[in-house]
Each structure stands twice: as structure tokens, then as C-alpha cells.
Amino acid sequence: MTHPIWTTARPLGRVACVAAALVACNSGAAPAAMPTVELGLPTDVTSFANADVAVAEAQGLFRAAGLTVRVRNLSSGVTVVQGVVGGTLNIGAASIEPVVNAEAHGAGLVIIGSYADRLTVSMVTPAAIQTAAELRGKRLGIQQVGAFREVMTRMVLEGAGLTPSDVSYVPVSANGYTSALVQGTIQSAIVQEEQAIDVLQRDDKLHVLVDLGQLRPDYFYGTYVVTRSWLAHNEDIAKRFLTAIVRAHRFMYQDKAATVQIVARATGLSEQVISRAYDLLLVKHGAFAVNAGLDPTRITRTIQTMQQFQILTGTAPSEPQLVDRGPISAVIRELGAWAGDPRWR
């Protein structure tokens, strides 16, 4: 699936050539060992929202950028942020909430890029539940308090005049939500687009109660986050990583068939399900940025939304304090910006 939608895209350029010089640009030279990045993902099973990493690996984009990336699938964005702060992870992929909350307490974090930067999740419930107010007294599946799915749940509850004390939270692993819904052990779960398609196919007594992307279209979602101290010593590695991620996002828009195959393998779902999710996430919503993707207005509004729903603890960091656009801006200058489609960010 090819989209003739960019006007200034260029070959990978100096960033990649310098990186690839470590392994390939000089075919006569002995290859040097590539730096290794320890990367944390926020679910124990990779979601479509995080599948840019799988695409980058499958298409050799990390290697082309001169990196070895070791991926660790963790239980939530909270756990990822803890790993970044603690130094066991170099780069973390996490929804924005635990990043903001950690920085509000002086963690020394900075956002350098994004995966799916728009919400890609829905709340699925039994069809008998027709309004959010009817969640009162029900068992709602979450990862952990303060993690992404709990935050999205809390936003739905608050919109209906409810609080977490009006429901029962049930901790569920990322790959356990659909089976828990089907079995009836929980009456609500925040699931990714592909999970919602899958579970509704499996049980017609379930439905989407709230599409969070429609409820909060200006909410910023997925971040790539590092510590300021790590970035100060590893800016070149950050640029290489982001080069591979941007190229992965662009590949995903250009080649549906290959993307669907890669994401199906990464998520463990059928190509039919992933194909339908692709049409929603990429074709309809443009959920992955192909340029810098760090919209300051949306990030600021998201911080304000966190304050409004009492999701934020501590003193809110300002948007300039929270985001360092230096690495991604350098990458886009080298790759050339995509233009010609209002979704491209």
C-alpha cells in the first residue's frame, strides 16, 4: 500500500550513514560492535501501538542505524518508567501519565519521541451496560493504579460522576483482558484497538462502551522517554534509535501487507484482526507520527487533563521541561519531513 504523500523525504542521510559506518558503509572495514539499547515496552504482550519496534527490527532498521535493541516487555508504563529512572532501561516506551507523574517528583526524565501519539484504546463491557454510570459496583480490569489502563478507566468514571471507590478494581495481565471479559470475571477493560476487534468477534455479548480516542481526541498517548543524564552522554544513540522509529512509522504507512504480517506475529493475533486494526489506526486516524510528532499544545492539554481528573500528583512540569525535541528534530532534518497529508506530524 503506497501513499504518494510526502514531498521532501530524502534518503536516510548522514545520521544513518554515520551509524551504518559502524557495520556496512565501509564494506572493506571490519565491523565494530554496535551499541546496545535496553528498551522497555509497557505491556507483557506487544500491542499494535508499540509495534513500531517490531517493524523496525523486522525491517533491519535498528541495524541500519547502527544499533542492537534488546526489548523487554513489562507489565505497565509505571514499571517501564521505574526501569528508566533506576537505570536498568536506557529508553522506555510508556503512556504519558507515569512520565509526567515521575517528573513531577523530580525524576529527571525527558520525552524524546513517540509511538502512537493518539489514543488507540476503547473501554469494552458487556452489552447490557449501556452507560458509564452503570459501572457502579462492577469489577473493572486494570494493570495497576496510576498505569495507563487505570487512568483511562478513571477518566470514564469521572465523566459519569463516579470515582474508583464506586467500583472494584481487578488487576489483570495485558494478555488476560479478553479472556477475563469473555469469562465474566471482569465487566470492563481498556483494550487496544486490535484487542477490541478480537474480543468482539469472540463474544457478541460484548460491545465498545467508550472509544477513548473519540472521547479525548486531543490527548497525547505514547512516549519514548529517557533520563536527562543518559541523554547528555548518549545523544547520538538517541538519534539513531529515533531514526529507526521514524523510518518504521513511514514504512507502516507505505506497506500494509508487510506491516500486517509483522504486527500479527508481534501481537499473536490473526492477520484479519490486524488488517482491520490497521485500517482504523493508520488509514483513518493516522495514529503514528511520521515527523517529530511531539505537539506542544496537545501535551500541555494532556497535562491539564491529568490535573483535572486528579491523575497528576505533585507539581506539574511544564511542557518545555518535559520534552527535548533536539534529537528528533535532527533526525527529521536528515530524513526530510513528510508533507501533503493533514495527519502528518
pLDDT in tens, 167-184: 999 999 877 898 999 999
Residues 6+ apart with CB under 8 A from 195: 47, 177, 178, 269
pLDDT at 50: 96
% of the chain residues with pLDDT over 90: 80
Q: Does the pLDDT of residue 161 top 50, yes or no?
A: yes
Average of per-residue pLDDT across 208-226: 95
Average of per-residue pLDDT across 231-239: 98
Q: Does the pLDDT of residue 85 top 80, yes or no?
A: yes
Q: Is 144 exposed, middle or buried (0-12, 13-18, 19+ CB in 10 A)?
A: middle
225: left (phi over 0), alpha (psi -120 to 50) or beta: beta
pLDDT at 313: 82
CA atoms within 13 A on the CB side of 81: 26
Average of per-residue pLDDT across 136-155: 92
Give one DSSP letter per residue of 80-146, joined into a string: HHHHHHHTS-SEEEEEHHHHHHHHHTT--EEEEE-SB-B--EEEEEETT--SGGGGTT-EEEESSTT
Q: Does the pLDDT of residue 255 top 90, yes or no?
A: yes
Q: Does the pLDDT of residue 292 top 70, yes or no?
A: yes
**Per-residue pLDDT reduced to its tens digit, 22-47:** 344 444 444 467 999 999 999 888 99
In this prediction, residue 193 has a pLDDT band, given cuts at 50, 70 and 90, of: very high
Determine the Cα–Cα distance for residues 226 and 141; give it in Å rounded to an integer. 29
pLDDT at 144: 84
% of the chain residues with pLDDT over 70: 91
Pairing of strands 189-192, 121-126: antiparallel
pLDDT at 344: 78
pLDDT at 114: 97
What is the pTM assigned to this prediction? 0.88
60: left (phi over 0), alpha (psi -120 to 50) or beta: left
**Per-residue pLDDT reduced to its tens digit, 96-113:** 999 999 999 999 999 999
Q: Does the pLDDT of residue 274 top 80, yes or no?
A: yes
Handedness of CA 310, 313, 315, 321 (dihedral sign): negative
Determine the Cα–Cα distance for residues 174 and 252; give it in Å rounded to an integer. 24
Average of per-residue pLDDT across 191-206: 95
**Per-residue pLDDT reduced to its tens digit, 46-79:** 999 999 999 999 999 999 999 999 999 998 999 9
**Per-residue pLDDT reduced to its tens digit, 298-316:** 999 999 999 988 888 889 9
- Domains of the chain plus CATH, in order, are 13-118+220-335 (3.40.190.10), 121-215 (3.40.190.10)
Determine the Cα–Cα distance for residues 273 and 198; give it in Å rounded to an integer. 6
State the alpha helices, DSSP H only, in the chain: 13-20, 52-58, 61-64, 77-86, 96-104, 148-159, 177-183, 193-202, 212-215, 228-233, 235-254, 256-267, 271-278, 296-308, 319-322, 326-335
Task: Tell which residue, 70, 102, 339, 59, has the closest CA to residue 225.
Answer: 102
Between helix 193-202 and helix 271-278 the angle, nearest 10°, is: 130
Q: Which amino acid is at 144?
A: Q
pLDDT at 32: 61
